[in-house]
Chain A
């Protein structure tokens, strides 16, 4: 595969990573929770789409229509029941709670479905296989373009919501100072629940498109979580567009690594992440994180 092709594929892959990352970023930005179950939730969403898709004989894109609200509702309930309580226990407890949740979801999926690798690509139809062939060296798969476009739309939509809408203002105010937000009438629990709902919906989108674009299995969650987190860190905390940039850098690192040797792809991503952490940029990131 040519280098140009590798970069292009990495760019498209970055769109998927950005989609995974924005939910993580949102939950952290608003609630200071790093949801260690984020990847597994995305996989859960993919399995739900699988169920609907195969039970009702519809394409995964159609299956998303009922699944997204279900997952959003699940997020709302999750926040109100479990996460809200864990927030009161200090910074350690949410990490421990979401880690426990991750194990439960992963193994629940393992128990319900086999560990077999599967894909929604076939169900999605030709869009998942066709490419726009530019020349003998370069082919741009339609599904990759779709995912990248979706990532831009979702991130843009979130950004717009945060900046322009009253709800977005409430989210920003609550993220900055939940105590004072209550003093001006904003119920923090409501803001948190809605933010979690949005985060889980985006995670479901990401998981489903991972399933369409390539493969997934019950244990795919942690890997996606790591990639999502790497995307957020590389792109810089607190910036939604940065998350897109971070995802793209990660994607390109992985595809270029794969171009050198297929076994190097994930490792290349890890090394870029660690390099960013070590860099002066990483120090800025670390110093911002100490204020949280």
Chain B
């Protein structure tokens, strides 16, 4: 189906590599505009909207992080709630020792990253189901340790008292902006990861780890990087959840239902894509906003939908879009293109020749 040019020079293939497409350029500009608009939301919209959006941002962070682990790194963690809880309780701990709350949140995120680095020594050797349950056990152990510590409120729970120094409006707005900042930061980090060589490396690992290693892809450092990043992100999310709600308890903030939510968001949106977790987080947020009061039925519904997607649409909603329209919003990936302007030369004998199938 391609035309064969009989007289092209040996080195001049006519092909060159492009990083972005028309669609991705448009999307990039729109994304930046969106961020600016979001930044202005507290000025433009009411209290409820600000709080709901903050909530959405924390879900978004969780979805992005879980997708980074499972979709890019092939690591299915059932224990990210360890960092969610750790981030929250680290914040409590820091504010108890005089650190200003919002700074404490940032430090707590980095502390969670450090925890991830330590935990990685233990769990990154494991694969598949062993990794999943191993991470879960760590989360459970952490929760139990916190329950034993009375200074952190023990089993009954605690709140972030340090926030009381701010007015309610200020609290809400600062928490919002910090959530937005973390979301943008993490999305940006993932984008950078994908755009640079690490992106291709991750794809290679996902497709065939052994083959990737044999061409020099450093599998373990990449997995380590993703795990630490996810620790950072989930820790930030945990701290932000703490700031956004008035009260947390160890059993809930370290609860495995967070993993359920993350799995749902990523599966429904599209595992292993950049846009997928964003879609999934929005879908989950909308469902949660409307149905969370239904209690057990709501969770049953979530579980059934997750199973349905796992079995029938494992590539998520985003795949429906990309399968039909062959575009990608993000300027990642490498595209071979050729300028269309050169006229095809015909071979002696006329007609165009098709190459071998």
Contact = CB atoms under 8 A, between A and B. Distances in A.
Contacts of B148: 263-264, 267
A100 B303 CA distance: 4
A93 B125 contact: no
Contacts of A50: none
B141 A103 contact: no
Interface in A72-111: 82, 85-86, 89, 91-93, 95-97, 99-104, 106-108, 110-111
Interface string A235-261: 000000000000000000000000000
Would you call the interface of chain B mostly helix, strand, loop, or mixed? helix
Contacts of A103: 260, 299-300, 302-303, 306
Given A110-B296, A226-B133, A292-B128, A93 B310 contact: yes
A286 B131 CA distance: 9
B137 A104 contact: no
A107 B306 contact: no
Interface residues of A, number: 50
B281 interface: no
Interface string A215-247: 000000010011001100100000000000000
Contact of A104 (B76, B121, B303): B303
B208 to A, nearest CB: 12
B279 interface: no
Interface residues on B, range: 35 or more
Would you call the interface of chain A mostly helix, strand, loop, or mixed? helix
Contact of B296 (A111, A271, A274): A111
Interface string B64-100: 0000001000101010000000000000000000000
A286 B126 contact: yes
Given A82-B307, A85-B311, A289-B126, A266 B132 contact: no
Interface string B303-322: 11011001100100000000
A103 B257 CA distance: 9
A89 B310 contact: yes
B271 interface: yes
B310 A229 contact: no
A100 B128 contact: no
B61 interface: no
B311 A82 contact: yes
Given A110-B296, A226-B140, A289-B130, A96 B310 contact: yes
A209 interface: no
Contacts, number: 129
Interface string B119-162: 00111011111101110111011001101100000000000000
A36 B300 CA distance: 16
B265 interface: no
Nearest to A110: B296
Contacts of A287: 125
B263 interface: yes
A282 B123 CA distance: 10
B267 to A, nearest CB: 6
Interface in B195-226: none
Given A100-B304, A226-B136, A274-B137, A95 B125 contact: no
Contacts of A192: none
B291 interface: no
Contact of A230 (B129, B137, B145, B267): B137
Given A104-B300, A271-B141, A277-B122, A97 B310 contact: yes
B128 A274 contact: no
A279 to B, nearest CB: 11
A270 B296 CA distance: 29
A246 to B, nearest CB: 14
Nearest to B272: A92
A286 B123 CA distance: 9
Contacts of B133: 34, 36, 225-226, 229
Given A36-B129, A111-B300, A274-B141, 7 more contacts: A82-B311, A89-B310, A99-B78, A100-B307, A103-B300, A106-B299, A286-B127
